[in-house]
């Protein structure tokens, strides 16, 4: 056991894990390296003033996405992420958009921790009750009951971190190495080919969650400061990007989150009933790039959601044109957005000592955009309709704690900024 003075900062553990995960994913998915090249090139050319706090941290910024099958798995990951200073923030019901999961995002919550390393993981939990085939549902429950997604070594180090309040350097390195195995891609499935086919028919995401040893990293997303330029460069290089960018349209003052992606890889898989010289295939993992804008207040988010609902209603125009037309009603001027209390802002001092306001970065996610990314990469068979409502209470019971309210987190950052450094409580 280490003494308290030898424990390293949780931000440092998170940074080590994020770097190790990025290195591993780059080896597994070669196009990820090309995405990083595209993002680096675009960001180097970015020159407009509204970077939403991006330039100082954008080169290290990543968000991963994983999917788990049970509350037991989710609770174990909650403990693992806590070792890295990451809390569950927000609740997302993706079943409203035809995906049988509900989700949260594990991330740092304090501004100084986000500045140190803003690594996030969007974690989805399968809603087993949405599997309509009762026989398949029972089989899924049996498969998941036999599965352990975190190694004994990692669990022991998690318990040690909880006991002593953190990890020292040697322990942290061992923890990163052990936990990395949870997110590694394994080509050997845990089910036979027929079972996999039944899972995929129920929903491709169900097959991805159930048929493997654990929640392999599904995508690892770098942040760009100009997603339109990144999209153009992806297409120029022959990468099969989405037809349109998810999230708000291009604006002078970016808001929320915009995302694009390339189509999922088809990867070789060996099912349990296949001989050594035969392989099947699995399609789920893909590449993604994101751009982050200003965090909206509850009033701003209500307006955005109202306009989005109007854009989603079909008419003769294509969706991107409907979205642009609908979102024209959302002010695109910083002073007006502040005056109408639509966005969160912080107060900064410029080099001449004058105060100015700048948008606070949106650190979270959008359920419609997430579902749109999933569906575009998994194909039309991923579009399902579910009538059963989700429950944040049920999700939090599985999580083992309540999720953080993102609006309260942004409000705290804004309030601390307006008080100024001399008035901030110790």
- The rounded distance, in Å, linking the Cα atoms of 1 and 87 is 25
- The rounded distance, in Å, linking the Cα atoms of 282 and 394 is 30
Cα atoms found within 13 Å of the Cα of residue 257, Cβ hemisphere only:
19
Q: State whether residue 105 is helix, strand or coil.
A: strand
pLDDT at res. 50 = 56
pLDDT at res. 425 = 43
- The rounded distance, in Å, linking the Cα atoms of 77 and 105 is 12
- Go through the chain and tell me how many residues it has: 426
pLDDT at res. 387 = 63
Q: What is the pLDDT along the chain (426 residues), one digit of tens a residue?
A: 666 678 999 999 999 999 999 999 998 888 888 889 999 999 888 765 555 655 668 888 999 999 999 999 999 999 999 999 999 999 998 887 778 899 999 999 999 999 999 999 999 999 999 999 999 999 999 999 999 999 999 999 999 999 999 999 999 999 999 999 999 999 899 999 999 999 999 998 999 999 999 999 988 999 999 999 999 998 898 888 878 888 999 999 999 999 988 876 788 899 999 888 888 888 877 788 999 999 999 999 999 999 998 888 887 788 888 899 999 999 999 999 999 999 999 988 777 778 889 999 999 998 776 555 555 555 555 456 666 767 899 999 999 999 999 999 999 999 998 886 544 443
- The rounded distance, in Å, linking the Cα atoms of 254 and 362 is 10
CA 322 distance to own-chain centroid: 26
H or E stretch including 74? helix 71-83
pLDDT at res. 108 = 97
- The rounded distance, in Å, linking the Cα atoms of 181 and 200 is 25
pLDDT at res. 423 = 47
- The rounded distance, in Å, linking the Cα atoms of 24 and 257 is 26
Using an 8 Å Cβ cutoff, are 236 and 78 in contact?
A: no
What are the start-end ranges of the H helices in 181-284?
193-202, 204-210, 227-236
Domains of the chain (ranges plus CATH)?
A: 4-245+257-293+364-405 (3.10.180.80)
> What DSSP assignment string belongs to 300-366?
HHHHHHHHHHHHHS--SS-HHHHHHHHHTTS---HHHHHHTT-B-EEEEE-TTS-EEEEEPBP-S--
Q: 102 has which bridge partners?
A: 93, 125
């Amino acid at each position: 056991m280490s003494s308290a003075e030898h424990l390293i900062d949780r931000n440092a553990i998170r940074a080590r894990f994020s770097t190790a995960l990025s290195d591993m994913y780059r080896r597994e998915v070669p196009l990820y390296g090309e995405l990083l090249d595209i993002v680096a090139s675009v960001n180097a050319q970015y020159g407009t003033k509204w970077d939403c706090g991006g330039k100082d941290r954008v080169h290290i910024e990543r968000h991963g996405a994983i999917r788990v099958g049970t509350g037991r798995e989710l609770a174990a990951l909650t403990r693992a992420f806590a070792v890295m200073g990451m809390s569950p923030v927000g609740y997302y019901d993706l079943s409203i958009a035809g995906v049988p999961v509900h989700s949260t995002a594990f991330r740092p919550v304090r501004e100084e921790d986000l500045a140190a390393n803003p690594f996030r993981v969007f974690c989805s939990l399968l809603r087993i009750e949405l599997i309509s085939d009762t026989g398949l549902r029972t089989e899924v429950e049996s498969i998941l009951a036999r599965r352990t997604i975190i190694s004994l070594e990692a669990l022991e180090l998690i318990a040690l971190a909880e006991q002593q309040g953190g990890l020292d350097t040697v322990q942290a390195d061992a923890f990163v190495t052990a936990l990395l195995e949870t997110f590694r891609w394994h080509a050997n499935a845990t089910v036979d080919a027929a079972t996999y086919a039944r899972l995929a028919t129920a929903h491709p995401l169900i097959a991805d969650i159930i048929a493997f040893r654990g929640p392999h990293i599904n995508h690892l997303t770098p942040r760009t400061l100009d997603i339109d330029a990144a999209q153009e460069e992806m297409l120029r290089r022959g990468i099969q990007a989405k037809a349109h960018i998810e999230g708000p349209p291009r604006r002078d003052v970016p808001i929320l989150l915009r995302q694009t992606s390339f189509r999922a890889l088809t990867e070789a898989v060996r099912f349990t009933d296949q001989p050594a010289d035969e392989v099947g295939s699995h399609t789920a993992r893909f590449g993604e790039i994101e751009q982050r804008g200003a965090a909206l207040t509850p009033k701003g988010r209500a307006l955005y959601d109202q306009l989005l609902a109007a854009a989603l209603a079909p008419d003769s125009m294509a969706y991107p044109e409907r979205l642009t037309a609908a979102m024209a009603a959302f002010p695109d001027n910083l002073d007006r957005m502040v005056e109408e209390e639509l966005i969160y802002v912080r107060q900064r001092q410029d080099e001449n000592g004058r105060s100015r306001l700048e948008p606070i970065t949106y650190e979270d996610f959008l359920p419609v955009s997430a579902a749109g990314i999933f569906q575009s990469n998994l194909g039309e068979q991923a579009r399902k309709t579910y009538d059963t409502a989700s429950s944040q209470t049920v999700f939090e019971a599985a999580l083992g704690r309540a999720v953080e309210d993102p609006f309260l987190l942004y409000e705290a950052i804004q309030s601390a900024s307006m008080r100024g450094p001399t008035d901030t409580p110790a």
